Homo-oligomer: A and B are copies of this chain.
């Protein structure tokens, strides 16, 4: 993908308010500037120290703690907090933003947020749920990276009540910063992410805890353990937020996984080599199929 340097590229938004000056928000601020997608970027924080960090590395032009004022002047509001923070901020944003403003979020779960948006905005609504699948083990505005979204995938809600013009501008925004966009139903999003991200994360943490309790040490650790548990290094706060805002789909994914583990247990107890071969081959083949390998 060619790097977008902003030369000869049209401005997509005039004033952008980024609510939440973490890694995702600050990186988007940098990317919007580098690609000339926005004229002015305002960072809205809850603590002056976060706002100051975002100002310090230039990810926003201006910082404020005054959500209502920043939102009221913006033609794009980006809620860049975890999902629970989005749910809490939406009412205040709805009350302060103009009717023409577009509002998006970047949280990892979508159904609860998009359902709440439906209660706040009449159709056609200009709130568009987004989930850019980008990130890093690092967090905080001080690690902002203008290239964070390059070659990533951004999942965007396809709810019929979303305003078509607003959705097109949101697609253009994410594509400008280097993401490939995919439209998806919010409930289907949460089901799929439960199986491909949320349950795997819980499993990674559970595997690490169990191994730790058994006294495993580096001597007996192969790359398998390292790979399987890598995502367990993520932020407990973020994963707590995801678990609580996608509870039903994660519950169902964990129950399905436990049933699958029971099939291995039954095959091991029965010393059933044919069944074990079938289970391991199915896992290998499913992985290849999902990853298109």
Contacts and interface: CB of A to CB of B under 8 A. Distances in A.
A268 B247 CA distance: 6
A283 B224 contact: no
A155 interface: yes
Given A199-B207, A244-B271, A271-B247, A216 B290 contact: yes
A276 B243 CA distance: 8
A243 B264 contact: yes
Given A216-B290, A257-B261, A283-B232, A196 B209 contact: no
Interface string A219-233: 111111111111111
Given A205-B279, A257-B206, A280-B205, A224 B251 contact: no
A208 B289 CA distance: 9
A253 interface: yes
B210 A228 contact: no
A84 to B, nearest CB: 9
B227 A264 contact: no
Contact of A205 (B192, B250, B282): B282
A236 B284 contact: yes
Nearest to A230: B227
A215 interface: yes
A240 B247 CA distance: 34
A224 B89 CA distance: 28
Contacts of A221: 196, 290-291
A182 B221 CA distance: 12
A274 to B, nearest CB: 9
A228 B251 contact: no
A284 B211 CA distance: 12
A31 to B, nearest CB: 19
A195 B210 contact: yes
B207 A220 contact: no
Contact of A225 (B200, B212, B289): B200
Interface string A238-260: 01100110010011011111101
8 contacts: A200-B224, A204-B228, A207-B257, A210-B256, A212-B286, A240-B276, A254-B264, A254-B268
Given A204-B228, A210-B256, 7 more contacts: A193-B220, A203-B203, A203-B228, A227-B230, A227-B231, A254-B261, A254-B268
